[in-house]
A and B are shown apart, each in its own frame.
Chain A
Amino acid sequence: MIPISAEKIHQTVEEIYRTESRRVLATLIRLLHDFELAEEALHDAFIAAVEQWQQKGIPDNPRAWLVSAGRFKAIDKIRRRARFDASLQALAHELDEAVSDEIEGGELEDDRLRLIFTCCHPALASDAQIALTLREVCGLTTEEIGRAFLASPATLAQRIVRAKSKIRDAKIPYQVPEPDELPERLDAVLQVIYLVFNEGYYASSGESLMRPDVSGEAIRLGRLLMELLPEPEVLGLLALMLLAESRRAARATSAGELILLEHQDRSLWSRELIAEGTALVEQALASRQVGMYMAQAAISAVHARAATTDTTDWGQIVALYDLLSRASPSPVIALNRAVAIAMRDGPEAGLALVDQILQHGELLNYQLAHAARADFCRRLGRKEEALAAYRKALALAQQEPERRFLEKRIAELS
């Protein structure tokens, strides 16, 4: 191997860090049975790479080299600590025994899946699952996660530390769940990805409507999961995210004002994402299993196909909402179904359903329920009722562009 310039080495190592660091980490966690130790080992391995590759050239299999270097560094570290703590001697010995098979064998792809399932383990708090997944699987810094979820890096770091100690102390295993546990555990993983996506697509609070980098990260996670575990609902979730993403450019004015689906300039929708998302929905539906994500994606695909709101196949959308209500009944889905029915049968039909839903009480503090009621009343010419409902929605809305949209409607009516 020929010696290479320091600059070239730095460039190469950086490139390899981007593409391989999460895989190397995933394998190191399996070999070392400890998140902290594996992260330190990953760091040490890359430092060693910069030093040694310059002299000896870039190895044929950089990933295996990094895993092996990281493991040796960790064993060294444990040995040094073991001089003061006898309980660590056994661990150092055990780690030393790990055969090279474990490092280079066919388990490597599974390691990334193990990492995802462990980070999204239901025994961890939901916000901890999200933070840990973004940190360990996506490699985001706590500062980046903080920006995405409007939390301080210190809070997030603490959340991540707590989650890691629970994994260690409660013996949460580093494994892909058994087939009989898979559906439930996969739900937890999908939920984490979906929550991350939604935070980027429909920011729950703050100045801006969307944070594209956050939803982009969720889509990357969705793609990774599909590569590792192509279950129908995994395809469904990825399709749902891609179809929603396809409308991003049309969802807001240049000033950041919300544009409703019916008023969006559909020429701005990304045909490429729609094609990819639609193909995935079809593939997911072909499995003949009904899932919450694929049903929502299928609804999104019907919208994507239509040139205008009027030519949208609302009948099919209502049918898909019926399917969705059966797969995962919830008042929010019932509300969306009511909106679809209003589009098919007119505002009167929608209003009757929304009033029924509001009577149940669960959505009394959900601004979109009041906004939907307001919209139906407005279209029926029931001005006073519309105004009252818009005001209720405004009192509940926390996101600036949404508030401005509601204020505009109130101003138009008064």
Chain B
Amino acid sequence: MKFLCLICAEVMMEGMSKLEADKHYQEYAEFTNDIRKNGNFIGANRLKPANTATTLRVRNGKVSIIDGPFAETKEQLGGYYLIEAKNMDEAIQIASKIPGAKFGCVEIRPVADDPQTLALELDRR
């Protein structure tokens, strides 16, 4: 089963000193390498800070656009990992090693695998 791990934190890479950021990148490189070797890695990305976010809604055919993320909180979404795990316990075990979990938090969401979603062929490469 696939799980999406959303990494949220108050401080983004951009807000760190060069030294801190380098160390953090190194930790992420090691973590990613480890889960790649174990076959748990599907995908991951780092997001630019929330001040680059734009939120869009379509109501009655009209597009409305506002500056900022859809939820204004101190902690912002900083990146994600898409992983393969056999169940929630394995997902928790993997996510607990995400370097950002030490500063912020990681939300673990199971990816839907019902027939209708699968029929969309979303992960066809």
Contacts and interface: CB of A to CB of B under 8 A. Distances in A.
Contact of A171 (B88, B93, B115): B88
B92 interface: yes
A185 to B, nearest CB: 9
A173 B87 contact: yes
Contacts of A87: 115
A311 B110 CA distance: 59
A7 interface: no
13 contacts: A87-B115, A121-B88, A169-B110, A170-B88, A170-B108, A171-B1, A171-B86, A171-B110, A172-B87, A173-B87, A173-B88, A181-B89, A181-B93
A123 B115 contact: no
Contacts of B115: 87
Nearest to A86: B115
Nearest to A177: B89
B42 to A, nearest CB: 16
Contacts of A181: 89, 93
Contact of A123 (B1, B86, B92): B92
Residue from A169, A170, A171, A175 having most chain B Cβ neighbours under 10 A? A171
A interface majority secondary structure: loop
Contacts of B89: 172-173, 175, 177, 181
Interface in B69-99: 86-89, 91-93
A263 to B, nearest CB: 48
Contacts of B108: 170
A393 to B, nearest CB: 35
Nearest to A180: B93
Contacts of B86: 171, 173
Contacts of B93: 181
Nearest to A175: B89
A173 B90 CA distance: 9
Q: Which of B1, B86, B88 has the most CB of A within 10 A?
A: B88
A87 B108 CA distance: 26
Contacts of B87: 171-173
Interface residues of A, number: 11
A172 B115 CA distance: 21
A170 B95 CA distance: 14
Nearest 9 interchain pairs by C-beta: A173-B87, A171-B87, A172-B88, A170-B110, A170-B88, A171-B88, A173-B89, A171-B1, A123-B88
Given A123-B92, A173-B86, 13 more contacts: A87-B115, A169-B110, A170-B88, A170-B108, A170-B110, A171-B1, A171-B88, A172-B88, A173-B88, A173-B89, A175-B89, A177-B89, A181-B93
A170 B110 CA distance: 5
A345 to B, nearest CB: 42
Nearest to B114: A87
A87 B115 CA distance: 8
Interface string B84-125: 001111011100000000000000101000010000000000
Interface string A352-368: 00000000000000000
A171 B1 CA distance: 8
Interface in A129-186: 169-173, 175, 177, 181
A7 to B, nearest CB: 46
A169 B1 CA distance: 11
A173 B86 CA distance: 9
A223 B70 CA distance: 49
A169 B91 CA distance: 14
Nearest to B1: A171
Contacts of A177: 89
Interface string A68-101: 0000000000000000000100000000000000
A172 B1 CA distance: 11
Contacts of A173: 86-89
A177 B93 CA distance: 11
Interface in B1-18: 1
Interface in A165-224: 169-173, 175, 177, 181
A169 B93 CA distance: 18
Contacts of A169: 110
A87 to B, nearest CB: 6
Contacts of A121: 88
A84 to B, nearest CB: 14
Contacts of B1: 171
A123 B88 CA distance: 9
Contacts of A172: 87-89
B75 to A, nearest CB: 19
B86 to A, nearest CB: 8
Contacts of B92: 123
Nearest to A166: B88
